[in-house]
Structure 1
Amino acid sequence: MNEEPPVISPEPNAFWKENAKNLVSESIATVEEVAKQLITVNSALEALYFTAITFSDIKGNLTYLTGAIYLSPVLLWLLSLVFAVLVLSPKKYAININSSSDSKERFIEIVSRKHLMLKWSELFLILSFIALFTALAHYLMAASVN
């Protein structure tokens, strides 16, 4: 008996080929859409936090340490916001439109830069949740002492 594996055609599956084209063509738009969502989330969190601080009773007994605890989420949200905005900010790229390899290199450069800025934005947002939890824990412990 001859148990050779069947011959597989070297032609790629049309579905996956089209899927790969879409992934490449939509990658910048996807990264920019996530950046816009991060801008919205950061802005909403800052607004809610400022509202909560405004109506709280922490203003009277602030020290440098408690001030740093309560300002750290805001600082991290601002950093997240800055990096999300950098994803959307345009930049000049020198490109030779007659060279497909140059076009590919510029595309990879653009996507890589935007992706890196997006990752920094996400990191600062995650760190802000840790800082927010710390501020909330401090507030609740201070309230239970008083």
Structure 2
Amino acid sequence: MSVPDSPVTVTVHGPDPRFRAGVARLLRDEPSVELLDRPHERDERPHGAVAVMLVERLDAGAGAELRRLLCGGRQRVVLVAGELREVELMAVVEYGVRAVLWRHRATPRRLLRAVHRAARGEGAAPCGVDRRLGDAPGPWSRP
């Protein structure tokens, strides 16, 4: 993995404060990442180049948060999910999520690689699903 010349700015989002804190701690120690803290006011959240969204399941609230993060194309999103049904996976691809990692397989190295790939505009599908997404529009499309 090549390290960018300047750090990738990242924000971390999700309903579980301990999961958010763990991921933030991991990213904060990484020299190729500049972690932006999130203010408490919803309208004052900073926008990083990459937003890491942490969810157990893609419910209505998580879907709304993903759409809000992707609105306007100011940042790219990496989704770390506990579980997604195939229809939900297709939905996040349509939203424009750049990378999806399964929570139980999201090692620090995989997360960092996904953040850097998203910052470069590349995409990454979870293990085993990239073949099904080959015809889907978005970053997983095959040339």
- Considering fraction of residues, name the structure with more helix: 1
Structures share a fold, TM > 0.5?
no
Of the two structures, which has the highest relative contact order with CA contacts closer than 8 Å and spacing of 6 or more? Answer: 1
**Highest Rg: 1 or 2?**
1
Normalised to the residue count of structure 2, the TM-score between the two structures is: 0.22
- Considering fraction of residues, name the structure with more strand: 2
